[in-house]
């Protein structure tokens, strides 16, 4: 039996570099809002720690200063605020949040990780070294707060140094957990960064923070944390292989007894077609036909030919190699020759952006592209498209395939990571047993994606099959409840 057996005795410091609705570049923002809220609903006392980017400070109306640090290590002066997440439509409103207000590190225009030209901030080691360090301080006897966590939950490389700081701390040890949302981003910096960030040079070791002659924030977290969680069961296995281990497969395989895969949930209040304010028309599983009004709105907004009968594919994501844009670009001319349309929203690598815009020019009315980050349009694409495309090369979890199913927009996905865990391929058997909810393609090759697209187009023509698929997806439970319970059980077992 664990010594702490109840969720109400859990105090969790959840360290993150983004949280919706304050700041979001991808799924981590959504998860950082919804998981802590779901854990709080189970009785756990979860509090967030985040850098004070301009958007974060501007969104928090009532905040209280609780500490000032004029000269901590080599960091510029900063203060700590405590506040609550603002009221919104989602489940996260009211979650307590600690904010690091360090103007010289965070007050700048651009994104949380990159400048306006998409280049990494040159001082990212210091920016996220500070986040990691404060996480460790709040878990230590040196904390300026009376509140103490008994679990420190780190997310991705940006808080990867926290378990290292905690390991080298001389006082009471607190349990730390490293959540891997994406192993491709590792926070790699020159070796000199180690002492600059106040970590001992003994940490520069293969059994430590060293990573092929440099240091890696993520490796530190994976090495020093008490437990590792990935955001889907399949990804937990994939990262232990050479193909998707990104050089860390040896370390991960060696720690396999300490790795769990828990599938992400979604915020079902924020992503609900029956109440979503971003849609032209709300609808539900009982009134799926009303979804057509969103298709019309989407076709008009994106400049596609307005046609209720042509299958419309949607896509919303970061424009990166991970998301399989190279494959999409190869297949798009064939898609344009089918009775099909494509609406794409996203931004990222400039070359992908440019190639997508060229496609739109070449196939007006059939392919439409919007470059940028647009929360409202992302909801309308979920509601207005007929099918959602995710040809991701790898996908630790993926959220859009779950949003799509909930919106009656069966997704077509590459069979990898969380996509494999959350989409049931449409076959005669799965249709008959009522589990079919989308389409999988298995080979990361243009022919395989294209035959997937053809399968969707064919299935779309059969209205009975299509309705069945839509209903199956819309009825699935993607809420955070059971995954939050799985996190709670891991926290409790770590404290036992």
Partner interacting with residue 373 (select from ligand ADP, ligand GLC, none; CB below 5-8 Å by kind): ligand ADP
Q: Which residue, 184 or 494, has its beta carbon nearer to ligand ADP? A: 184
Point out which span in 22-30, 112-120, 143-151, 443-451 binds ligand GLC (CB under 6 A): 22-30
Candidate list 40, 127, 181, 414; residue touching ligand GLC; CB under 6 A: 181
Smallest distance from the beta carbon of 107 to ligand GLC, in angstroms? 25
Is 26 a binding residue for ligand GLC by CB under 6 A? The answer is yes
Q: Is the peptide bond before 250 cis (omega within 30 degrees of 0)?
A: no
Question: Cα torsion at 231, 236, 238, 239 (round to 10°)?
Answer: 90
Assess contact for 50 and 97: CB atoms under 8 A. Answer: yes
Q: Which residue, 90 or 208, has its beta carbon nearer to ligand GLC? A: 90
Smallest distance from the beta carbon of 225 to ligand GLC, in angstroms? 17
DSSP 425: B
Candidate list 182, 341, 387, 409; residue touching ligand GLC; CB under 6 A: 182
Partner interacting with residue 318 (select from ligand GLC, ligand ADP, none; CB below 5-8 Å by kind): ligand ADP
DSSP, residue by residue, 44-111: -EEEEEEE--HHHHHH--S-EEEEEES-STTPPPEEEEEEEPPP-SSTTTT-EEEEEE-HHHH-SSS-
Cα gap 11→4, rounded to integer Å: 11
Q: Would you give the distance in Å from CA 356 to the centre of its chain?
A: 23
Is 261 a binding residue for ligand GLC by CB under 6 A? The answer is no
Partner interacting with residue 46 (select from ligand GLC, ligand ADP, none; CB below 5-8 Å by kind): none
DSSP 447: H
Q: Which residue, 246 or 373, has its beta carbon nearer to ligand ADP? A: 373
Assess contact for 398 and 406: CB atoms under 8 A. Answer: no
- Angle, in degrees to the nearest 10, between helices 463-475 and 446-461: 110
Distances from the Cα of 261 to the Cαs of 37, 41, 222, 308, in angstroms? 20, 22, 14, 40
Is 215 a binding residue for ligand GLC by CB under 6 A? The answer is no
Smallest distance from the beta carbon of 374 to ligand ADP, in angstroms? 5
Strands (E) across 375-449 are located at 387-390, 411-414, 439-441
Partner interacting with residue 386 (select from ligand ADP, ligand GLC, none; CB below 5-8 Å by kind): none
Tell me the chain's radius of gyration from C-alpha atoms: 23
Q: Which of 136, 139, 221 is nearest to 178 (CA)?
A: 221
Name the site residues for ligand ADP (rule: CB under 6 A): 26-28, 30, 316-318, 345-347, 373-375, 378, 397-400
Smallest distance from the beta carbon of 181 to ligand ADP, in angstroms? 7
Assess contact for 437 and 405: CB atoms under 8 A. Answer: yes
Smallest distance from the beta carbon of 219 to ligand ADP, in angstroms? 20
- One symbol per residue from 383 to 402: x for binding ligand GLC (CB under 6 A), - otherwise; what is it? ------------xxxxx---
Point out which span in 21-29, 114-122, 408-416, 446-454 binds ligand GLC (CB under 6 A): 21-29
Cα gap 56→334, rounded to integer Å: 43
Partner interacting with residue 345 (select from ligand ADP, ligand GLC, none; CB below 5-8 Å by kind): ligand ADP
Q: Which residue, 167 or 235, has its beta carbon nearer to ligand GLC? A: 235
Q: What is the 3-state secondary structure (H, E, C) of 399-413?
A: CHHHHHHHCCCCEEE
Q: Which residue, 21 or 396, has its beta carbon nearer to ligand GLC? A: 396
Assess contact for 21 and 32: CB atoms under 8 A. Answer: no
Q: Which residues contact 434 (CB under 8 A, 6 or more apart)?
A: 468, 472
Q: Which residue, 85 or 397, has its beta carbon nearer to ligand GLC? A: 397
Residue count, binding to ligand GLC (CB under 6 A): 14
Q: Which of 184, 264, 185, 176 is nearest to 228 (CA)?
A: 176
Is 32 a binding residue for ligand GLC by CB under 6 A? The answer is no
Q: Which residue, 208 or 408, has its beta carbon nearer to ligand ADP? A: 408
Is 227 a binding residue for ligand GLC by CB under 6 A? The answer is no
Is 31 a binding residue for ligand GLC by CB under 6 A? The answer is yes
- Quick one: 1 exposed, middle or buried, by C-beta within 10 A (0-12, 13-18, 19+)? exposed
Partner interacting with residue 231 (select from ligand GLC, ligand ADP, none; CB below 5-8 Å by kind): ligand GLC
Smallest distance from the beta carbon of 185 to ligand GLC, in angstroms? 8
Is 420 a binding residue for ligand GLC by CB under 6 A? The answer is no
Is 422 a binding residue for ligand GLC by CB under 6 A? The answer is no
Q: What angle do CA 414, 420, 426 make, to 5 degrees?
A: 80
Token reading at 311: 């299958």
Contacts with ligand GLC by CB under 6 A lie at 26-28, 31, 181-182, 231, 264, 395-399, 418
């Amino acid at each position: 039996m664990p010594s702490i057996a109840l969720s109400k005795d859990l105090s969790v410091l959840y360290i993150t570099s983004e949280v919706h609705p304050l700041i979001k570049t991808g799924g981590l923002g959504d998860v950082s809002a919804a998981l802590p809220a779901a854990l709080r609903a189970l009785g756990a006392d979860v509090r967030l720690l985040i850098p004070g980017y301009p958007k974060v400070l501007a969104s928090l109306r009532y905040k209280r200063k609780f500490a000032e640090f004029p000269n901590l290590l080599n960091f510029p002066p900063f203060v700590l605020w405590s506040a609550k997440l603002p009221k919104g439509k989602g489940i996260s409103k009211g979650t307590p949040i600690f904010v690091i207000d360090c103007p010289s590190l965070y007050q700048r225009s651009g994104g949380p990780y990159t400048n306006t030209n998409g280049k990494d901030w040159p001082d990212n080691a210091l920016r996220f070294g500070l986040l990691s360090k404060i996480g460790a301080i709040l878990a230590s006897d040196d904390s300026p707060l009376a509140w103490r966590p008994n679990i420190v939950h780190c997310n991705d490389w940006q808080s990867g140094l926290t378990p290292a700081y905690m390991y080298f701390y001389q006082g009471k040890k607190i349990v730390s957990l490293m959540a891997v949302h994406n192993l491709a981003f590792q926070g790699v910096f020159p070796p000199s960064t180690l002492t600059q960030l106040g970590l001992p040079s003994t940490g520069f070791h293969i059994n430590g923070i060293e990573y092929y002659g440099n240091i890696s924030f993520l490796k530190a977290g994976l090495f020093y944390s008490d437990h590792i969680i990935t955001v889907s069961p399949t990804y937990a296995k994939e990262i232990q292989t050479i193909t998707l281990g990104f050089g860390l497969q040896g370390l991960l395989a060696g720690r396999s007894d300490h790795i769990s895969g828990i599938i992400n949930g979604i915020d079902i209040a924020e992503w609900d077609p029956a109440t979503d304010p971003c849609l032209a028309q709300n609808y539900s599983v009982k009134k799926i036909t009303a979804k057509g009004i969103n298709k019309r709105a989407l076709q008009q907004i994106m400049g596609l030919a307005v046609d209720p009968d042509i299958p419309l594919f949607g896509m919303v994501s970061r424009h990166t190699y991970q998301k399989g844009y190279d494959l999409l670009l190869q297949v798009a001319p064939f898609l344009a020759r089918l009775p099909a349309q494509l609406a794409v929203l996203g931004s990222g690598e400039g070359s992908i952006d440019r190639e997508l815009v060229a496609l739109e020019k070449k196939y007006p009315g059939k392919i439409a592209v919007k470059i940028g980050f647009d929360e409202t349009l992302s909801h309308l694409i979920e509601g207005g498209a007929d099918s959602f495309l995710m040809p991701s090369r790898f996908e630790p979890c993926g959220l859009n395939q779950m949003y799509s199913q909930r919106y009656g927009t069966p997704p077509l996905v590459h069979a990898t990571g969380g996509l494999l865990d959350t989409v049931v391929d449409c076959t005669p058997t799965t249709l008959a047993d009522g589990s079919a909810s989308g389409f999988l393609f298995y080979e990361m090759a243009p022919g395989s994606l294209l035959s997937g697209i053809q399968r969707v187009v064919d299935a779309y023509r059969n209205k009975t099959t299509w309705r069945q698929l839509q209903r199956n997806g819309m009825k699935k439970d993607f809420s955070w409840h059971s995954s939050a319970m799985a996190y709670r059980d891991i926290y409790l077992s770590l404290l036992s």
